Amino acid sequence: MGCAISVYRAGGNKKQMKIPVVTVFVPSIRVPINSSFQKHLKGVVPKDLTDRLTSFRNQIGLLAQQTDASAAPELLRALEEYLSLLVGLTDQELGFQELIEFKWKSLDDGLQEISVADSWFELLSVVHMMAMLTLMEANSKLIPYQTVSNETVESTDSVRCAVELLVKAAGYLQFCLHEILVRIPPHIKMKLPVDLQEKVLEAAYIQALGQGTEMQLASAVQSKNATLSVKRRLACEQLSFFSQAHYSLSTCDNLNGYGKKHLSFIKWKYLEAKAAAYYYHGIITDKGSEPSCHISAVCCFLAAEEILTESKKACLNFCLTAPVTRAPTAWGAMKHLNKKIPETAAKKSQMYAYLLEQEKSLKVLPELPEFELSLKADEYQMPNKDAAWDCEKWKITTQTLKTHFTDEDDK
């Protein structure tokens, strides 16, 4: 499913009906289907290297289907080791790019399978899986612990760790977009599943940075040293990220059910960010001495209150969109703003009622300020090609690969 419970429900335990809590949304999870490379690489690659490729790939598929979210670090290590071997299959000089059919299945849409004969597709799938696992880890850090009184207990360390994981996931997705997808031939791109298409990858990448900024705002709200200007800037940056993510995803063709859930999540977070941005902008504007400042501030507070109401509806819509999920108990900035926005809107509306009546022409919702986006993705570097590919003990046959397998079939 398109949420953080995906991997540890992948084993097919149909009796498990627990509805997952989603703080960080995981757009999709794909896992490799067990296979052997011996048939494809026999005679052109040493058997021990072929066995290592097969072993790592099958181990990843097994881990993904039989363990829970706590196995994400182990899976990530296995994927990194597999990548160093896989890089050799993308070497143009070796000619293996279209030799092997790589099979993957989605855990989000009835175990639908896809098979693509392109090593860059395999690379894309592996790095994408690394991004999804990292988002899953971030979610596990933020799933709220509930006390007896059902109040959320927040950990500063957990929030800081979640931000680090989110920018790491963004780095993986950025690498998918700029370093892998551009190397896949157009006829292969047309066959890619929706969640591996450019617009969806872009939306997931921007979403990760948007949620990282959301965590930074949560920390700022808890900090006594964070100024109103800092809180407004973070809220506006979060709004900008989710606005971009919404545009990318909404322009994607053929969004499936899980894509629609992804879109509903981004809309929810966009509205939360917008409510926060107008609230903090109103607080700062209200510090002015001119009547127009107070009227603009009231307009901001009223807009924030209306948008907050819409965000709660969007949250419900997200939770009810299949697969059903639960939103966490209000935490971070929204735990504070769910109370402060309605209180401030009511208080300031009464305080400046006479100005609103006298200066009706000034009742215009001000534009929010724009800021340069400060949170950046961690730059991901592909691991070096395994030394086994450069071993001088074996040579690639001069016979073309297609002829090689045609001859074998004839025999």
* Percentage of residues in the chain having pLDDT higher than 70: 85
Mean pLDDT of 294-306: 95
CA dist 351 → 220, 314, 347, 356 (Å)? 28, 31, 6, 10
Query: DSSP letters along 39-85, please?
Result: HHHTTTS-HHHHHHHHHHHHHHHHHHHHS-GGGHHHHHHHHHHHHHH
**Domain 7-410 CATH class label:** mainly alpha
Residues 362 and 288: their CA atoms lie apart, in Å, by 15
CA dist 107 → 12, 14, 33, 114, 145 (Å)? 10, 13, 12, 12, 27
Residues 52 and 64: their CA atoms lie apart, in Å, by 18
Domain chopping of the chain, boundaries: 7-410
Highest mean pLDDT among 146-150, 153-157, 193-197: 193-197
Mean pLDDT of 244-272: 91
Residues 52 and 85: their CA atoms lie apart, in Å, by 8
What does the DSSP 8-state code read for residue 103? E
Q: Is the dihedral of CA 192, 118, 3, 330 positive or negative?
A: negative
Segment (H or E) for 102: strand 102-106
Give residue 400's pLDDT band: very low, low, confident or very high (50, 70, 90). Answer: very low
Cis peptide bond N-terminal to 369, omega within 30? no
Tell me the per-residue pLDDT of 325-375, one tens digit each, with 9 for 90 and over: 988 888 889 999 999 999 999 999 999 888 877 776 566 789 999 999 999
pLDDT value of position 345: 95
pLDDT value of position 69: 66
pLDDT at 393 > cutoff 70: no
pLDDT value of position 147: 38
Mean pLDDT of 125-150: 79
pLDDT at 203 > cutoff 80: yes
Tell me the per-residue pLDDT of 18-35, one tens digit each, with 9 for 90 and over: 788 899 999 888 899 988
Q: Which of 10, 154, 12, 110 is nearest to 69 (CA)?
A: 10
pLDDT at 51 > cutoff 50: yes
